[in-house]
Amino acid sequence: MAKSEDLTKTAAWRQISAMGCRALEVGIRNGDRGLMMRRQWTPSEVLHFLPWLKSRNARGADIYIQPAPDLMHGLVLVDDLSRQAIAKLVADGLAPACTVETSRANFQVWVKIAPLVLPALRTVIARRLARDYEGDPASVGAAHFGRLAGFTNCKPQRVDDEGRRSFVLCRTWDGAVAPAGAQMLAWAVRQQAFLSPAPAGRAACAAGRSVCAGATGDQSRADFARACGLAGAGRGIAEIAAALAAESPQIAERKRGHIGDYCQRTAEAAMRAVTTRVGRSRDDRRIGAVCAGIEAVLVHNSEAGMKIYEGHPAHLDDGSWGVKVEGDSHEAIAVGDRLTVKSKAGKKWGATVTRVVDHNDYGTRVEAKNDPKAAAASASPSSTAGAPSVSQDSPC
């Protein structure tokens, strides 16, 4: 048993290290019920919970992994590849950061295009790689789960005649950026021009650059000014971080080894600075308040709190601003229930549930519309009594 546990830990850690993400989302899928339980953890937390994941896997649950949904990264998943397709990827300068054999002679690869790539560009690249290398076209997108090495593949067709399941194996794990990643990214940018500021924000960007006109040689200050300009133009944190990674002069030499972290922190700081300025709209201030993630939700009708796995601001179907939250709730939540939402930054506001996406043994997922009328009441100390404070290590 000990040997098996060691092998699982070794395989999982090889894949996690190669992916190189400071926050990950692990999916535990119940094959019988078709339900996916999601947990957002740091790499060390994934290792800590390996025994629990193994017990789930032994009961027939498949174990998946992807970068945390709100984390900026440069990984693209390509599914259902053959050995020949992977050899062609390598020959074309797109060697995978890690290769995972999900069943006999069937592979998934994570290709690291660059330290940071916009989600829309990752989708464009994923589609091209799936097309050019005969991958699964249904498994493309900016965010998509791949299997976690060290566990078994519980699909019935992967069970042999003696009832043994195929193990998911990590075959390569160097974690390197693909040699031709820059060319692939340049092609994707030409397909989708996402890095340039919107026309309405060009003046703000220029103003941001002028702030540090006298700061010759202080490129970090210039980066911050540039980030403030993009935030003022309405860009999100992920877009700002990607723009810095792509456009900041000599960033590879200046921030060697921590480009992603530097760009993420600069973008978050710029968003905080811009959203506290006088004159910003109510919605923009609210977006800034939750940019560090949702920490707690109090459900007014039951006085029960939700233990949050994931929470972030979002445009709802009707175009209004609201929140999407996933967590544990001991009681069912219904449309029309009032919530008090608390961000990691300590801001609180009211919201009304407009849609219950799911409520089952695996947790509760809801969408709620921001409620300005309830915001004042939500900010009172009594309204948050008993609300849980759940620490998460994931960025926005």
β-partners of residue 147 are 64
Q: Within 13 Å and on the Cβ side, how many CA atoms surround 40?
A: 23
The pLDDT, as a whole number, for residue 112 is 95
The pLDDT, as a whole number, for residue 228 is 78
Measured between alpha carbons, how far is 365 from 35 in angstroms, rounded to an integer?
Answer: 12
Sign of the alpha-carbon torsion through 379, 382, 388, 391: positive
DSSP one-letter code for 314? E
Measured between alpha carbons, how far is 60 from 33 in angstroms, rounded to an integer?
Answer: 11
Measured between alpha carbons, how far is 325 from 311 in angstroms, rounded to an integer?
Answer: 4
Whole-prediction pTM value? 0.54
Closest alpha carbon to 322 in 275, 370, 270: 370
The pLDDT, as a whole number, for residue 82 is 95
Please list the pLDDT of the chain residue by residue as tens digits (396 residues): 445 457 999 999 999 999 999 999 999 998 777 788 999 999 999 999 999 999 999 998 999 999 998 788 999 999 999 999 999 999 999 999 999 999 888 999 999 998 888 888 888 899 899 999 999 888 887 788 999 999 999 887 767 666 678 899 999 999 999 999 988 988 887 776 533 444 434 444 443 443 333 333 478 888 888 887 777 655 667 778 888 888 788 888 888 777 888 888 888 887 766 654 433 333 433 333 333 456 677 777 665 677 776 677 766 666 667 777 777 765 677 888 888 888 766 778 888 888 887 766 556 778 888 876 544 343 343 333 333 333 333 322
Question: Which 3 state secondary structure label does DSSP give 299?
Answer: strand
Pair type for strands 146-147 and 152-153: unpaired
CB 211, CB 225: distance < 8 Å: yes
Measured between alpha carbons, how far is 224 from 226 in angstroms, rounded to an integer?
Answer: 5
| 104-122 CB burial, b ≥16 within 10 A, e <16 | eebbbbbbbbbbbbbbbbb
Closest alpha carbon to 73 in 25, 18, 113: 113
Angstrom distances, CA of residue 234 to CA of 244, 271, 283, 317: 15, 10, 11, 20
The pLDDT, as a whole number, for residue 187 is 84
Question: Which residue, chain included where needed, has tokens 């899928």?
Answer: 29
**Residues 384, 389, 393, 394, Cα dihedral to 10°:** -30
- Which structural domains are found in the chain, ordered by start? 2-184 (3.30.70.1790), 195-277 (1.10.1240), 293-384 (2.40.10)
Angstrom distances, CA of residue 309 to CA of 59, 69, 296, 373: 23, 12, 10, 27
